[in-house]
Amino acid sequence: MLRTHTCGELRSTHVGEVVSLCGWVDKSRDHGGTLFIDLRDRYGKTQVVFEPDAGAELYAEASKLRGEDVIKVTGKVIVRPEGTRNAKLSTGDVELQVTALELLNKCNNAPFSPSQQDLPGEDLRLKYRYLDLRRSEMQKTLVLRSSIIKAMRDYFEENQFIDVETPILGRSTPEGARDYLVPSRVHNGSFYALPQSPQLYKQILMVAGYDRYVQVARCFRDEDLRADRQPEFTQLDLEMSFVTHEDVMSMIDGLMKKLAKQFLNIDLQLPLPRMTWDEAMERFGHDAPDLRYGCELIDCTDLAAKCDFRVFKETAEQGKKLRGICAPGGGKLYSRKLIDELTEFVKQFEAKGLAWFRVEDDGKLFSPIAKNFTEAQLEEFKTRMQAKPGDIMFFVADTWAVSCKALHNLRKKIGVDLKLYDPKTMNFSWVVEFPMFEYDAEEKRWVSMHHPFTAPRPQDLHMLDSDPAKSRAVAYDLVINGSEAGGGTIRIHDWQVQQKVFGLLGIDEETAKNRFGFLLEALQFGAPPHGGIALGIDRVVMLFGALDSIREVIAFPKTQKAADLMTEAPNLVDNKQLRELGIKLASADKP
């Protein structure tokens, strides 16, 4: 090594030793002819000192150093003079009295400095990603990511899982999201697809008897990117044989307990709390509720039916729902102007309006629509909503689905506005028993809520014929702070049930055989009962690192337009390459 120690290593026990350090010039300052440089590497910072009597040439060389230059220094470790020790720095008791300096590489006119206070815009940070990655926050995050993944691997090894790599060059199946395709050179006209997940491979591994499989798997979806999505992402993927949902969930419970202890110093109580999907939708309007605060959705449809206010009454008569949430202490914050903004806000989620009642100091309800209700009716609403003076109640009268969507988002907003929870707290829970299917109004057909390989609850098997909408799956989502951190299911291991589910999804026998023939065969050649789960590692690291953007937890992320600004991918390629692949650009024919 060019160095004897890292920049985070020297302590008072090293005093007197002659050592060499390598690193980046972080800050430098001249105090009365003595030059102090903070030398930085991944491990920390050390103060290195160039004294005038160490030689004019050395001092002159050192004076020319600028931020981010890469240097090697050699010298003696000395105690810092009394009063100049830096308790904030792990190496702050000592400094290095430099006797030799080697400039390893110059940093010339970098577009920004990793130690500057105000960061430049994200595009510049992505273009010069190596400068951005040199920031200590980014280094901390990527070290956290590496450590979390290592802790996961250790945990699953202890639990006798086998790490198996599944192919990246796979088969395109038009179920689910859009595939990334890879044209084949050997088989012109055919394409590989990058995997959206190793779902079928891991099921095949169970059929092959591997019993417990785990993989940190790269997955790909060619979708228009939302803020927290990337074209390629990483999931902790696992599968177990001869298990029930209890076994998979308790395996993940144990993992979360370990990670929470190791990285957040939180002692989780196991088992993690569980809630059915029905309950989550009823109480929170969403299948990944944030349980760090209350402010639950409360159904008042029965009260609406009894009152004379037309909008409410008709809601009940039409089989729609009147549901509300009570914002504790929100009466003061939410002025008329802000309430108007909230009304616009819920309209984004298809609600037609937002009714509200403020509880005044005397307990009376104030609302522009109050005059439509009797005193007793108002009192009933207040009681049902458990509203207290200073609170404000909001109501959405609409279909169940719209009220879920609108009130869930309103609840999230209110939680932040009213600081209803400490953002540092962490909440882990499960949502279970999802519906097998949801109706896709656009495509006018049933689609799987998880995926087509999900097993129905045994007691719901008969409903596949009679009432598929009511059938519930053996499915479980891990929710952390209102984010879906992972989702899993017990899989179908009976080929006839699988065939039936394909049928319900509108995949006829021939299509099923064509796309999933190998699975249907595998289920007939000795498939054990099995199930598994996948956790979004990017998401987990974001949550554990209290970060806002997925691009902060990925070393080389892509923009929302799926571009890598540093390498300038995707890029144009030679015609020769396309010819070999048997493809041409659609635009090539245009004049």
Binding residue positions: 175, 221-223, 230, 450, 484, 491, 536-539
Give me the least distance between CB of 49 and a copy of itself, in Å please: 21
Question: Would you call the peptide bond into 271 cis, given omega within 30 degrees of 0 as the criterion?
Answer: yes
CB closer to a copy of itself, 151 vs 266: 151
Give me the least distance between CB of 41 and a copy of itself, in Å please: 6
CB closer to a copy of itself, 231 vs 353: 231
- What are the residues whose beta carbons fall under 8 Å from the beta carbon of 197, sequence distance 6 or more? 217, 219, 235, 237, 534
| Phi, psi angles (nearest 5°) of residue 353 | -175, 180
| Phi, psi angles (nearest 5°) of residue 50 | -110, 110
Give me the least distance between CB of 138 and a copy of itself, in Å please: 8
CA distance 583 to 222: 20
Which residues in 138-211 belong to E strands, given as ranges?
162-163, 181-183, 191-193
Give me the least distance between CB of 564 and a copy of itself, in Å please: 7
CB closer to a copy of itself, 29 vs 576: 576
| Phi, psi angles (nearest 5°) of residue 521 | -65, -45
CB closer to a copy of itself, 40 vs 539: 40
One-letter amino acid at 310 equals R
CA distance 455 to 400: 26
238 is written with which tokens? Answer: 């696992």
- Annotated binding-site ranges for L-aspartate: 175, 221, 450, 491
CB closer to a copy of itself, 66 vs 419: 66
HEC-encoded secondary structure of 373-392: CCHHHHHHHHHHCCCCCCCE
CB closer to a copy of itself, 328 vs 488: 488
Task: Provide the b/e sequence for 325-361 (b: ≥16 CB within 10 Å).
Answer: bbbbebbeebeeeebeebbebbeebebeebbbbbbee
Give me the least distance between CB of 355 and a copy of itself, in Å please: 42
Give me the least distance between CB of 152 and a copy of itself, in Å please: 11
Bridge partners (DSSP) of residue 212 are 240
- Annotated binding-site ranges for ATP: 221-223, 230, 484, 536-539
